[in-house]
Amino acid sequence: MTVPTYLHLSTRSLLMAEHALAGGFDGVVVDMQHGEHDLGSATTLIRSIPGSLSRTLVRVPRIDSGIIGAVLDAGAGGIIAPTVETAAQAAALVAAVKFPPAGGRSLGPLRPGLYAGPSPLAAANDAVRGYAQIESAAGLAALDEILATPGLDGVYIGPADLAVSLGRPPRLDWADGPVRAAIDEVIAGARKAGIAVGIFCLSGAYAGALAEARDVDFVGLGTDVGLLAGASKALIESFRG
């Protein structure tokens, strides 16, 4: 089964985004939490990507209606909100992402024709997604309440921080143990709630296995910095023998 793949962009480079998309990624995650992006660089990058509404997500540094509204006005197709641990935080995310009556997003038609059709606000609410990132023991404990939030489009699993919160090493691509059990719990909960679930991975094989098992609806697959670092290391090692 093929699911959309997104490369996390830590740098401000449009070239990185262009090469990622040309190389086969379905989209990019503009990372304002763990990347070098500020609001200006994020919105400029979003506007520079053709078809940004279907090809860009933004991980914001926090649930802030001003930041979220600005990147959505620029044409982002969805928001990943980090460290969501309560239903109230999930509701605040929905309020920032959706136009009334589903939410409280302020109307700012920055780009012409971004949302097509006779009812552009309804089209926007259908097109733009809000994902609550589950990456802590507290988020796991409140999972049922978070998943029940009206208007929430999905959840995004952050395995490294989740592992640390559960007293485990900060790594990704867990195949077994308590962290994998927690990942499976989030996936099962999202399936029961009827909302989407995504996960950040490093290994294409690991992500592919999740996709093949129909466990996830989309994956964040590595970072631009990570790809460059890995390719640099492999190239130098091959040169030095």
Q: Which residues are catalytic?
A: 34
In angstroms, rounded to a whole number, what is the distance separating the alpha carbons of residues 83 and 63?
10
In angstroms, rounded to a whole number, what is the distance separating the alpha carbons of residues 5 and 158?
15
In angstroms, rounded to a whole number, what is the distance separating the alpha carbons of residues 96 and 102?
10
Comparing CA positions, the residue from 6, 3, 26 lying closest to residue 201 is 6
**How many of the other CB atoms lie within 10 Å of CB of 91?**
19
Beta strands in 111-177 (DSSP E): 129-134, 154-157
In angstroms, rounded to a whole number, what is the distance separating the alpha carbons of residues 102 and 24?
34
**How many of the other CB atoms lie within 10 Å of CB of 207?**
23
Helix (H) or strand (E) holding 189: helix 177-193
Strand partners, 102: none
Beta strands in 152-205 (DSSP E): 154-157, 196-201
b/e per residue 112-145 (b: at least 16 CB within 10 A) = eebbeeeebbeebbebbbbbbbbbbeebbebbee
